Structure 1
Amino acid sequence: MTINCDLCKLLANPPDDVLLWRDDRLAVILVDEPGYPGYVRVVWHRHVREMTDLPPADRAHVMQAVWAVEEAQRATMSPHKVNLASFGNMTPHVHWHVIPRYTDDAHFPNPTWGAKQREHDHAAVAARAALLPALRAAIIENLK
């Protein structure tokens, strides 16, 4: 653990409603991003800066988890598109963002951190948030 890393701190004691799944190498966590229910991060436990710092088998393990999350999102939330991203510019710790996107979300077609295109459709966001228990169950099932 690196003391100044937000992800290391989160993984040390994740709230039950945030932690969707974990094994001895990584965790799948729900991100509280207003307007984007189902936004998930796949986070490597150890503080590692780049994917290529991991042995090939561990890289494959990360990506299998990312794909399992994407499949669960597609099956339960029916997004128009799923965005996958690994940045780490602000938090240099291996992690992937897996974000279900919809043509009516506030930023579409821009990235979620880009210019807002419209206000959130609160009814659509609430309907998507209601799918979170099913998403959690599908992620767990996909990662067994």
Structure 2
Amino acid sequence: MHLLIYENNEIYIEKHESEIPWLKIFTKEPYKELGDVPKELRLKLWVIYDILEQEMKNYYKPDKINMASFSNMLPRVHIHVMARFKKDSYFPNSMWGEKLRDAKLNLPNEDEFFKQIFKVLNERLF
């Protein structure tokens, strides 16, 4: 089960269960390819991505932000936004790559982060 962080009439954002902060942005309409998404909504997706990236950087102070959009297993447009840390279990590999260590990250409270995301998205998207 995925935790819904934000939703409006065009998109929704879910938390992906992981040791790292990891969010996924989905379009409500199940477009197969990014090029199938109407241009106005495509531009909004990048605004949302920018907001999530900036808020993750400010809140978690990661070493790197990763972005991915494969859509092979789930053939619909969605964008992964991940805060990465040099001490996470997979770094510098991708989160789908080989695990290199058993990490125990000490991260700030995610509920506060989710409240901040909700607030900023509501302010900036409407």
Task: Using structure 2 for the length normalisation, give the TM-score.
Answer: 0.90
Q: Say which of 75, 96, 106 aligns to 1:92.
A: 75
C-alpha contact 1:76 1:138 (8 A) present in aligned 2: no
- Find 1:136's aligned residue among 105, 109, 114: 114
- Tell me the secondary structure at the aligned position of residue 29 of structure 2: coil
Q: How does 1:25-44 map to 2 (within 5 A)?
A: 25-33=10-18, 35-36=19-20, 38-44=21-27
Alignment-mate amino acid for residue 66 of structure 1: Y
Give, as a single letter, the amino acid of the residue that structure 2 aligns with 1:132.
Answer: E
Runs of 4+ in 1 over 4 A off after TM superposition: none
TM-score after normalising by structure 1: 0.80
Give the Å deviation of 1:142.
2.1
Task: Give the alignment partner of residue 116 of structure 1, picking from 85, 99, 122.
Answer: 99
One-letter identity of the residue aligned with 1:26: I
What 5-or-longer segments of structure 2 have no aligned partner? Answer: none
Cα RMSD (Å) of the superposition? Answer: 1.4
Give the gaps of 5 or more residues in structure 1: 1-9
Q: Deviations over 1:85-144 (max 9, x none)?
A: 1110111111000000000001000101111111122xx2xx32x420121022112212
Count of residues in Structure 1 that have an aligned counterpart in Structure 2: 122
Between the two proteins, what is the percent identity of the paired residues? 25
Checking the alignment, whether the CA contact within 8 Å between 1:77 and 1:131 is kept in structure 2 is no
Aligned to 2:94, the other structure's residue is in SS state coil
